[in-house]
Amino acid sequence: MKNRMRAFLAVSISLAFLLTPLTGFAASTVLSTSNDVSHLSLLPGDRVGGPVTAATSTPFAFVSNFENDSLGGWTSIRGTAPTIVSSPSYSGEPSLASTTKSGVQADYVTQNITAGEGNVSLHVAIDAVAKGVGLFGLATAAHTFVAVVGVSDGNVVAGPNPAHLTTIEAVPNDTAQPAGWVLIIANVVHPGASSSMKVFVDRTDVVAATVKVPGALNYSGAMIETTHGSVHYSDVIVSTYQMATRIPGYNNMEGYGQGSALLVTKLPEFDNYTATMTLKNWSVPQSGILSFQINAMNLTGTTVSTCDGFFQLGLSLDKGGKISPWYVPGVNCESTNFVGSVATPADSVLVLSIVWENSTHQIRFSIDDTTLGKTWTHSIAYKGGGFYGAYTQMEFQPCCNSSPIGDYVLSGELSNMVITTIGGSVQSLPASYMLPFMLDAPPTWDLGYYQNAHAAYDETS
């Protein structure tokens, strides 16, 4: 049985859905650790118009989910100060409520944003009711937009500034996003003296539009501006890492998960990635929709964000207390079950591993159900070298489900994520390896991650 590869976020990560950076591990399993990322190579930026290399770029990531009722660095510069509200939420995330009752309302931020970088990605979820007009983008120190996306009168818009906006399309309905919300990602690139912005709306398999943004390089921060009505904003990201990559037929906004678009460094070459999942209990109305997976990528898969060199090992949570193991072979984005649906009891401890065996020119996928004392293994031929990127996911597939996500019950813990380098060093991964993205999960999910709570990525229900 083959299915489309389990989609990851959105990048929320997400990205939407959920889970994953490799930030904390059980001390008993780590033979040596490194909290210093100076030895890690920085990933290049968007390749459209030329890469931004570690020598010429200062990677940064500003992430704002308004957790804990905090503005997170935003300063009100015009109108009535915004508020943080729990409703409407964006898949459980609070939102910034901005209104024009006292005229245009605008907020500006420079925290964790480095000015003048060559390639920058924007990411924002917007809920604009009725005739609301809300904008988000890069802005100068004088609070003037130089690259902007947003919603105006029910349409997604983009352009260099509010006076020169292009209508991209109507806000889509019946997508993976919560009702009323639209998720917009824009990759701003600077090929030579000019700049352009590729805009993605609720999907990444196609570019919705490309607009000119000639002054984008003059930004100093980011700005939110509401010019009419009431607008809500959430999951705001500004980063030098390319948040959207066009892969025809594959949409990494359609789902809940964190993906390679949230990686910011290249790891030392490794040949083994292992993670442990404890399934305390689960109840699903439909098999094959909710899954857990680990991902390891070779150099191509890590730096280009492509189906090539991208390896997944996962298991679907099925009805009747069963699971179905599957893998993705690194030459396409298709998953294949290698074991049928098998029963495992509550409190099962599952160890998932993706291993490159250079001596046999193979990659071995294995799932060890330590509770049952069973191990399921599948190997594929491979000669593409070691791994440089890794992450984990929990994921719900909205494309194919017949019941709402809240009907899926899951309780579990994720821990013991370890890479083994080519030199044999077993390492944990520093918190700065991935963007610090807070993750969404329905209230019916009770998930714990990592032993190192302060370095973990929070679940919000």
188: domain CATH number? 2.60.120.200
Structure tokens at 315: 């298991």
Asked if residue 331 is part of any domain, the answer here is yes
Rounded Cα–Cα distance for residues 330 and 457 (Å): 27
Query: Does 323 lie in the same domain as 256?
Result: yes
Rounded Cα–Cα distance for residues 49 and 454 (Å): 38
Strand partners, 106: 78, 225
pLDDT digits (tens, 9 = 90+) for 230-248: 999 998 989 887 777 776 6
**Amino acid (1-letter code) at residue 208:** A
Query: Does 355 lie in the same domain as 212?
Result: no
Domain boundary among 222, 239, 256: 239
Percent share of the chain, pLDDT over 70: 75
pLDDT digits (tens, 9 = 90+) for 77-115: 999 999 999 899 887 778 999 999 878 999 999 998 999
Give the ranges where 304-420 is alpha helix by DSSP (H): none
Asked if residue 252 is part of any domain, the answer here is yes
Would the pLDDT of 264 be above 80? no
> Structurally, how many domains does the chain consist of?
2
Would the pLDDT of 280 be above 80? yes
Asked if residue 56 is part of any domain, the answer here is no
Query: Does 226 lie in the same domain as 339?
Result: no
22 in helix, strand or coil?
A: coil
Q: What is the mean pLDDT of residues 378-383?
A: 96
Rounded Cα–Cα distance for residues 336 and 354 (Å): 15
Query: Does 225 lie in the same domain as 255?
Result: no
Query: Does 234 lie in the same domain as 254?
Result: no
Query: Does 441 lie in the same domain as 403?
Result: yes
Asked if residue 205 is part of any domain, the answer here is yes
Please tell me the predicted confidence (pLDDT) of residue 179. 84
Residue found under tokens 């004392």: 373
Domain boundary among 199, 215, 239: 239
Average pLDDT, the chain: 78
Domain boundary among 239, 271, 300: 239
Query: Does 252 lie in the same domain as 218?
Result: no
| This prediction's pTM | 0.69
Which range is most confident: 172-186, 271-285, 300-314? 271-285
Q: Provide the residue range defining the domain that includes 344.
A: 2-43+246-460
Would the pLDDT of 37 be above 50? no
Asked if residue 54 is part of any domain, the answer here is no
Structure tokens at 338: 């290698």
Rounded Cα–Cα distance for residues 328 and 196 (Å): 34
Q: What is the mean pLDDT of residues 239-258?
A: 63
Asked if residue 422 is part of any domain, the answer here is yes
pLDDT digits (tens, 9 = 90+) for 118-136: 889 999 999 987 689 999 9
Asked if residue 268 is part of any domain, the answer here is yes
What are φ and ψ of residue 27, in 5° steps?
-60, -30
Angle at 11 between CA 7 and CA 12, to 5 degrees: 85
Burial (0-12, 13-18, 19+ Cβ within 10 Å), 20 = buried
| Cα separation of the two ends of the chain | 33
Query: Does 212 lie in the same domain as 267?
Result: no
Q: CB of 444 within 8 A of CB of 406?
A: yes
Asked if residue 325 is part of any domain, the answer here is yes
Structure tokens at 265: 């460094």
Reference 19, options 351, 317, 445; nearest CA is 445
CATH code, domain carrying 330:
2.60.120
Provide the CA 27 distance to its chain's centre, in angstroms. 27
Query: Does 250 lie in the same domain as 234?
Result: no
Query: Does 82 lie in the same domain as 8?
Result: no
Query: Does 344 lie in the same domain as 199?
Result: no
Please tell me the predicted confidence (pLDDT) of residue 198. 95
Query: Does 367 lie in the same domain as 234?
Result: no
Rounded Cα–Cα distance for residues 342 and 326 (Å): 12
Would the pLDDT of 379 be above 80? yes
pLDDT digits (tens, 9 = 90+) for 142-188: 999 999 999 999 999 999 999 999 999 999 987 767 888 999 999 99
Regarding predicted confidence, which is higher, 42 or 451?
A: 42
Please tell me the predicted confidence (pLDDT) of residue 437. 47
Reference 256, options 77, 16, 457, 5; nearest CA is 16
Q: What is the mean pLDDT of residues 321-336?
A: 92
